[in-house]
Amino acid sequence: QTYKAVCLIPQVYRVSRYLHKLWSYLPRLWSQLQRLVEIKQAGRKPLTIRRERVRDMDKIF
């Protein structure tokens, strides 16, 4: 019984690391999804939206 539990520890650790990595990617994935929705709603190519963002940043500075 104890031997089986000890053998499972590395697997549990591996799974927890994988879940942590997955969780850390969620904000990045969410921002990409928002960008895609923005592109689809605007009906334009991503490059034009990116150029507009650069232009807006230039106006701020």
Q: pLDDT grade, residue 60 (50/70/90)?
A: low
Q: What pTM, to 2 d.p., does this model score? A: 0.42
pLDDT on residue 32: 87
Per-residue model confidence as pLDDT tens digits over 10-25: 888 889 888 888 888 8
Token pair listed for 43:
């009906």
3-state secondary structure of 44: coil
Q: What is the pLDDT of residues 38-56, one digit of tens each?
A: 878 877 666 666 677 776 6
Burial class (CB in 10 A: 0-12, 13-18, 19+), 21: exposed
48 is written with which tokens? 């034009």
Phi, psi of 45 (to 5 degrees): -75, 150
Q: What are the domain boundaries of the chain?
A: 2-60
Q: Is the dihedral of CA 33, 37, 42, 43 positive or negative?
A: positive
Q: Kindly state the average pLDDT of the residues 28-37.
A: 87
